[in-house]
Amino acid sequence: MTMDKMIIERDVPIVMEDGLVLKADVFRPKDETPSPVIMTLGVYGKGVPYRDAFAPQWDVLMATKPEVLQDSTKKLMVWELVDPEIWVAWGYVCVRVDSRGSGRSPGKLDIFSKREAKDYYNAIEWAAAQPWSSGKVGLNGISYYAITQWLVASLQPPHLAAMIPWEGASDAYRDMMRHGGIQNDGFFKWWYPKQVIAVQHGNPRGWQDPWLGERSSGPASLSEIELERNRTDPVSDILSRPLDDEWYRERSADYSKVTVPFLSAANWGGFGIHPRGNFEAFTQAASKQKWLDCHPGRHEEWFYLDHGMALQKRFLDHFLKGIDNGWDKEPPVLLHLRRPFSNEFEQRKETSWPLQNTKWKKLYLDCVDGFAVPGMSWDPPCKWSKMSFAALGRPLTFLSPPLEKDIEVTGPVAAKLFGSSTTTDMDLFLTLQAFHNDREIVFEGAADANTPLSQGWLRASHRKLDPSKTLPYRPYHSHDEIQPLQPGKVYELDVEIWPTNILLPKGSQIALQVSGKDFERMMPPREAGNPWEMRNPTICTHSHLQDRPKDTFGGESTIFTGGETPSFLLLPFIEN
């Protein structure tokens, strides 16, 4: 649908109960037939063009997926949102709302806050009452626009009829802010200035809105001091809150109150921000009508590819338009299975998560005294052994024997490690890898081109488990008290490793890397002439010196295996 075939209203005011006015852009069918609404609310600026502000991602998408959105000129697209040209042609109204304090909406910017969720509630109810609305509102967006869906759904707006949170966190502490208790400062110190403050309301350097002919950050020009006063500081907020308190709970879904029908779309390779929240919400939310999609690929591309578009349309057509298209009979879990060194992804539908035909298998770690490379075995080693490593130095990598047959690994992963430290704490960074013919099996993930199979984290002083929520395959840490280590004492440590999928051919080897710092691999030099270097391939890093002081987290760590310390990796093998 071309722009002359739709009605476009920009900077439409939505008045909040406290008098503040949010600004929205509305795209609707020209025949003015009351239609269901697809709404988003977030901080990236409703008037910031995708192709300008996110040019690298746009260029890659257009170059690698030239077939994407062929029925659209793509001139109305912004980052992580639906394309109005497509959806208005399908009979929907698209509403984009700038969050309080962002873009064209004034106020204090406070990401994922209770105030932001309440504003979203108000905007949903406002849209439902408009003459161009059928009264049914659906939500559909990626990342930030997925996270806010879980938060507003917890408030149960009466006219919220369905939602598609695509690659979004639902537990602020565990999914994105503190992995296993360790601060994820790398993401927030990069993302917040680049993608949020850049579009803060009143920022005089905000992107130009080409559709309004004005700044996307509003007409006001605030000073640096005024801008800073008008926003919170998530890096400092997270640093000052090592335990899971009310501040994190306010920014997390209340699964018991998420009752709306939803399609939770998870990226297999979104470690650090996505996809844990999509899996947890699917298994924990009270909704009686819920589905889980598991896909590979870069962060945003599957949202716009034909498969993703058809999936979204069919789901929303059913719940927002009442179309009997068989969606209600669709199995609740849709998988896209990954094979090594292939860009073809087999689809399979399942009835539950974890999968019903899961056989949980333990790979026991074995330090193998006298060998440089520790191993793993299917039987617990009788002999007790140990191996130490510098927490900030080279990691240990435990390698399994070659597989005797083809194996599918699909589901949550966990590890039980027996470990000690020469200091009063230690951070564990676990990376699940696989190799075939000495070549690592990697996939293009949400944010990097060489994503390992999975990752997990745990701060040893946060080892306390919540027995009411812990499952054998998904340990759940309470994060409600700090229990320092006694140097040299051995502790039992259960580590959650995020869900994964891989179809491993015979002869492959499974590996578990155990480190005291972020995962790194040899990467090509950034500039010609420079040597290859070790780099973390993701933006979710954990290196804040106040959160990880070297005198505490830079000691020597020891892993114990066999005998009375049977450290193991728990894997979900699928029997067909």
Q: Which residues contact 223 (CB under 8 A, 6 or more apart)?
A: none
Residue type, 223: S
> What pLDDT was estimated at residue 533?
45
* Contact status, residue 207 vs residue 48, Cβ threshold 8 Å: yes
Q: For the segment 405-434, what is each residue's pLDDT rounded down to a tens digit? A: 999 999 999 999 999 999 999 999 999 999
Q: For the segment 324-366, what is each residue's pLDDT rounded down to a tens digit? A: 999 999 999 999 999 999 988 999 999 999 999 999 999 999 9
* Contact status, residue 388 vs residue 558, Cβ threshold 8 Å: yes
CA-CA distance, 503 to 569, in Å (whole number)? 18
Element (H, E) at 335: strand 333-337
Element (H, E) at 314: helix 306-321
Q: Which of 396, 344, 407, 405 is nearest to 372 (CA)?
A: 396
CA-CA distance, 196 to 384, in Å (whole number)? 51
Q: Which residues contact 337 (CB under 8 A, 6 or more apart)?
A: 345, 346, 347, 348, 408, 410, 501, 503
List the domains of the chain with CATH numbers: 3-330 (3.40.50.1820), 358-522+533-574 (2.60.120.260)
CA-based R_g, the chain, Å: 24
The two structure tokens encoding residue 465: 């488990």
Tell me the average confidence (pLDDT) per consecutive run of 10 residues in the chain, 576 residues long: 82 98 97 94 97 92 91 95 97 98 98 98 98 98 98 98 97 98 95 96 96 95 97 97 98 98 95 94 98 93 95 98 97 97 93 97 86 82 94 96 97 98 98 96 84 96 98 98 98 98 97 96 60 61 96 98 97 90
The Cα-based distances of 71 to 47, 93, 207, 309, 314 in angstroms read 22, 17, 27, 12, 17
CA-CA distance, 430 to 557, in Å (whole number)? 14
**What's the DSSP call for residue 174?**
I
> What pLDDT was estimated at residue 532?
44
Can you list the alpha helix ranges (DSSP code H) found in 22-174?
A: 50-53, 55-64, 84-89, 114-128, 144-153
Element (H, E) at 192: none
CA-CA distance, 2 to 63, in Å (whole number)? 23
CA-CA distance, 206 to 43, in Å (whole number)? 12
> What pLDDT was estimated at residue 373?
64
CA-CA distance, 571 to 350, in Å (whole number)? 19
